[in-house]
Structure 1
Amino acid sequence: MASLDQSKTIIGSEEWCSFPDMMIPALKARIDSGAKTSSIHAFNIQPFRRHGLSWVSFEVHPIQNNRRIVIRCEKPVADRRSVKSSSGLSETRYVVSATLKLGEEEWEIELTLANRDSMGYRMLLGREAMGKRLIIDPSQRFCLGRISPKRVLAFYEKAEPKKSGLKIALVASNIDLYSNQRILEAGEERGHEMEFLDIKQCYMKLDAKEPEVHYRGGKSLDDLDAVITRIKPNMTFYGCALTRQFESMRVYTVNSSDSIAQSRDKLFSLQLMLKSGIDIPTTGFANSPMDTKDLIEMVGGAPLIVKLLEGTQGRGVVLAETRKAAESVINAFKALRANLLVQEFIKEAGGKDLRCFVIDGKVVASIQRTAAPGEFRANIHQGGSASVVKITPEERRLATTASKVLGLTFAGVDIIRSQNGPLLLEVNSSPGLEGIENATGKDIAGMMIASIEKKLGWKRELATAIAEEVS
């Protein structure tokens, strides 16, 4: 039996470490000899140039399940490397060098920057960083000492965000919705002043020189840095008018009035998609009930989908399984003077579709939605389920192109898989966060706030000395 090398430090399957040069005094790391590279949780990753060299700024939530404490760091870029994540998806990550302190020893290691929100640890220590210094005893934990939760928080007391950030308003209708609460929470956690504005309580003054928006009681909204618009369908007209007013006041708005209006007009948005080369299910549209039979033939006959133009979250979507049923549904809607689309039914999709969340032209998360038993369409608002899915490069391109065509900064892009490739269903300008955050474990709301910070050029101050070092 080989003798134990006394010159090496024995560590367990998880240990507390620190990064003195990044002002991170305590970080719980997962020790994984099966991983070649080491990784640290990083978000809001932004490359920049300094003295002609490539640098990267990034932010770290050092404590698991605590988004309030944030450390901002800047490092020279050591490399850019393709790394395969635990989900099997390869991505290109920035690599930086940092001083790791583990127990009494310090040495330089390479770290890849990756969003580890959905992981159990903010840090993964791979075998390259261990070198010939360490021996792992997987049956042990914290061989180099434990740190109590109270002490960990004490290390980061000076890292609590100060209310010196941006003033951001969320314009919506219901403050109690999960998505709205998460956006407000994410902004507060990152040190911004967040304000919820009920769209019905806002009114405006149209003036060429001094346009204004007032809130209930006469409060003038003249000091906002940014406005996040989350407008429900029946408030689209007034919501777009209000958004245009903020734009005339030179307040940064996400999403813009034009992009919201285009996304809400389902017929127009689909025509724009086709013009841009994006495939959709074969779709028909008519004004007269006299054209019903030919309309059905256009999309390949029954079964088919009948969809109200004003519907959302699966409402106003009907599966007509026979020609007679299709004629009845279409004529009934037409009798009510409702605008509708008739669309081919993609049987091979099996009641599943994809939701891709796009921020700034990049898919930041994606899920597969599965219909509830007895339903034909996947919808988590009607008993469906959601799970993490690996999307193809073609599906990723479709999602980013669709959001770009409509000019949306934040978008939920719905895609269905067919035997002829991915097809676009629709693009949502006010996508919900609950299903996709819960399924993926990602801080989508925080990414939305980070997007605004980047657009407005706001940066959190770099960390300075934080309490004492871990002994």
Structure 2
Amino acid sequence: MDKKIIVGSEEWCAFPGLGIPAIKARVDSGAKTSCLHAYNIQPFNRGGEAWVSFEAHPLQNLRRPRVRCEARVLDKRTVRSSSGDSEKRLVIKTSISIGGSVWDIELTLTNRDSMGYRMLLGREAMMGRMLVDPSESFCLGEIPPSQLEEYYHDEHHMAGTGLRIGVLASNPDLYSNQRIMEAGAERGHRMTFLNIRQCYMKLDSAEPEVHYRDGRILNNLDAVIPRIRPSQTFYGCALTRHFESMGVYALNGSQAISQSRDKLYSLQLLQEGGLNIPISGFANSPMDTNELIDMVGGAPLIVKLLEGTQGRGVVLAETRKAAESVINAFKSLKVNLLVQEFIREAQGKDLRLFVVDGKVFAAIQREAAPGEFRANIHQGGTASIVKVLPEERKLAIKAAKVLGLKVAGVDIIRSKKGPLLLEVNSSPGLEGIESATRKDVAGSMIMAIEKALKWRPAIATGDSLPPEVSD
């Protein structure tokens, strides 16, 4: 008993083999496996063995410093979290230093950004070596900020060595834009936020240019990520098109964005591509109201403004009389609208599949707030992890391909006829899906640019991961 280390509910430790001199750990004897926060997880092959490269934020609630690590892959396991969710994680073995003692432990790797601690110390790592006093903290001593600064002041910053990427958007404080900027910087790229309204175009067959409000000429960008709000679709697409004409890669092209923003045209393209959509009707004259209602099977039905977004401009008409009133009211305002069949069996739920570079990277189920019919987290709904069916995955991937989008938020509703496409968003929000799935969606967008431009970070060379460890 005297040889065992007495620890509290939280302690400082280190991982010398990973280059992490200090990280605060949550000591949890209720958890079997120890876990380390990791992002940009990149499996590779070294000398015929499976290895993994990843980056870590060792300091709680901070995205700086970041430490790049490499380790041999020990295993790949399914781990069940305290919330009951299961996740496949890579497992590594490395030495831990704590309280003056050093021994090897197994660590699973996952993104713990949303958790209170970047490190979880489980009972397997403590067995036979530690006693836990949950009423205490830092029994082995605190590490002052000055010491942490000394540990990490020589951190190698990758920023400035990678691609020059501009984020074309309107609000730099928006979660999605912040995450994209952070993800790019974390992968070593020079990120620039560009307010669309502050960009000016010079049309010249010899020297076309894009100027910014501070006098900069933006011709040296390698890529842009358009995040265009609906009210700026015309100018945002024109700006994106100008960058494309100058040879700058756009993650989502101007034509693809324009197509996706026109709800009627996008449905026509999806229909032409043989994809299943809800029965929809469109007309220009109020004289056609009854025909429209009958066309989609009568009430209840959905009325959508073509210019609406994020659930706005979408109305459920529960009776025929209500449908006539809503349609005629909208038409009196001279706005374009769609009438669409109501899928009762969906029970106010839909799926958001986040497609990146031809693959479904993450997916959530969105459930409408009480009293609402549309599953939309922007309008007070909730998001949860969902198991996506193969036909839903194929539908989302093909929808993004038909519209020419590298990145898309594809909304699908489950019906008796199978999955139906609701719409495809060219600037999908990241907060709901990253919070629910704890996946680095922003990082996947940056990696899509790297792939398109054939850029690779300075990590160990190697081939693909062996089949038994690969996803």
TM-score bracket, shorter-length normalisation: 0.7 to 0.9
Query: Are residue 196 (structure 1) and residue 193 (structure 2) matched?
Result: yes
| Counterpart pick for 2:342 among 330, 341, 345 | 345
Query: Are residue 105 (structure 1) and residue 66 (structure 2) matched?
Result: no
Query: Are residue 92 (structure 1) and residue 54 (structure 2) matched?
Result: no
Partners of 2:142 and 2:266 lie apart in 1 by: 56
Cα offsets for 1:210-245 (capped at 9, x unmatched): 543333476421111221101122332332232233
Query: How far has the Cα of 1:337 moved from its partner?
Result: 4.8
Worse overlay, 187-196 or 262-271? 187-196
What amino acid is aligned across from residue 83 of structure 1 in structure 2? V
What pairs up with 1:24-423 in 2 under 5 angstroms? Answer: 24-159=20-155, 161=157, 163-165=159-161, 166-175=163-172, 177-184=174-181, 187=184, 192-205=189-202, 210-216=207-213, 219-274=216-271, 279-334=276-331, 336-360=333-357, 361-364=359-362, 366=364, 368-371=366-369, 375-382=372-379, 384-386=380-382, 388-394=383-389, 397=393, 399-400=396-397, 402-418=399-415, 423=420
Q: Give the structure-2-normalised TM-score.
A: 0.83
- Residues 363, 388 of structure 2: 8 Å contact kept: no
Partners of 1:99 and 1:61 lie apart in 2 by: 18
Structure 2 unaligned residues grouped into runs of 5+ = 461-471
Partners of 1:116 and 1:217 lie apart in 2 by: 38
> How big is the alpha-carbon RMSD for the aligned residues of Structure 1 and Structure 2?
3.4
Q: Per the alignment, in what secondary structure is the counterpart of residue 66 of structure 1?
A: coil
Worse overlay, 342-351 or 57-66? 342-351
What amino acid is aligned across from residue 363 of structure 1 in structure 2? F
**Structure-2 change in CA distance of 1:118 and 1:277 (3 Å):** farther
Query: How far has the Cα of 1:315 moved from its partner?
Result: 2.5
Q: Paired residues, what number?
A: 455
Tell me which residue corresponds to 2:9.
Answer: 13
- Residues 411, 422 of structure 2: 8 Å contact kept: yes
Partners of 1:220 and 1:451 lie apart in 2 by: 25
Worse overlay, 395-404 or 255-264? 395-404
Partners of 1:55 and 1:207 lie apart in 2 by: 50
Q: Give the structure-1-normalised TM-score.
A: 0.83
Structure 1 unaligned residues grouped into runs of 5+ = 463-471
What amino acid is aligned across from residue 72 of structure 1 in structure 2? R
Partners of 1:427 and 1:86 lie apart in 2 by: 34
Q: Per the alignment, in what secondary structure is the counterpart of residue 88 of structure 1?
A: coil
What amino acid is aligned across from residue 394 of structure 1 in structure 2? L
What amino acid is aligned across from residue 284 of structure 1 in structure 2? G
- Residues 19, 99 of structure 1: 8 Å contact kept: yes
- Residues 68, 190 of structure 1: 8 Å contact kept: no
Instruction: State the percentage of identical aligned residues.
Output: 65
**Structure-2 change in CA distance of 1:422 and 1:389 (3 Å):** farther
Query: How far has the Cα of 1:63 moved from its partner?
Result: 1.3
